[in-house]
Amino acid sequence: MVLAGLATPAAAQQPATPEAPAREQVTKPHCQIPKDLARFNSPLPNLTHYVASQKGIHIIALGSSSTAGSGASSQLASYPARLDAELDRRFPRKDFIVTNYGTGGQLASDMLTRIKEDVLAQMPALVIWQTGVNDAVQDVGLELFQETLQRGVRELKRAGIDVVLVDMQFYPRSERVAVYGDYLNAMRKVASDQGIPLFSRFAIMKHLVKSGQYTSGQLLAPDNFHLNDLSYGCLADLLADAIEEQVKAAMRTAGPPALLR
């Protein structure tokens, strides 16, 4: 079940990583990527506990326009709504409630305020925090951006809430933003320092374009900036893949098969 959030939509190149000769692929109806691009390298212990012990699992999708669904044909095509449906399908005896807390144009600092004022009170099992592009375009300051992320992640972890960071989208004009790669690197560093998963949206979208599967125009809305139904679908499916793999692997390791029901 998907719930509307408190807010409604407002209106760098990263160094290439050489591919190994035989890299396992994730094949979807509309996107194919090397599996390691969408695999979480850090655990989700709180989410795993909730999936093992509760029927209802609350997830908050916190972010800017990419979370709110700008460029989608409807709210049902936004990534949080589609992720909700995907997780319910993959865990048929559970009810995932993905609440959309996306507000177009917000900076990470705006979202830090919302974490303190709105998110912590909800006590979700997981927060998926999408941010970075507005900060990079406005160049709010790399140290300030990184410290804001660190503070937000620490607040959530202190409350026992798992966090996944979702980095910026790949779009043609991003290569003209001189600091874009620096902000991507800052998000990777925060995820590594805090021991939380990073979902590499930039690398995934770039792979879909560079591999010839799609043009950037096919992955973006008419403004050539926001995502569209196709790329929101990829984002939701691949996030669901990563969550499912991480949670089920942890459950198999931790306890009896009954936990998987």
Q: Which residue(s) pair with 58 in the sheet? A: 97
Q: What are phi and psi of 127, to 5 degrees?
A: -115, 125
Q: Answer for the pair 102, 2: CB distance below 8 angstroms, yes or no.
A: no
Mean pLDDT of 61-90: 97
Q: How confident is the model at residue 175 (pLDDT cuts 50, 70, 90)?
A: confident
Residue ranges and CATH numbers for the domains of the chain are 2-7+24-252 (3.40.50.1110)
pTM comes to 0.87
Rounded to 10°, the helix 229-254/201-210 angle is 120
User: Residue 100 CB: number of other CB atoms within 10 A?
Assistant: 27
Check if the beta carbon of residue 149 is closer than 8 Å to that of residue 108: yes
Is the pLDDT at 11 greater than 60? The verdict is: no
Tell me, what's the pLDDT at 254? 73
Contacts of 207 (CB under 8 A, 6+ apart): 33, 34, 37
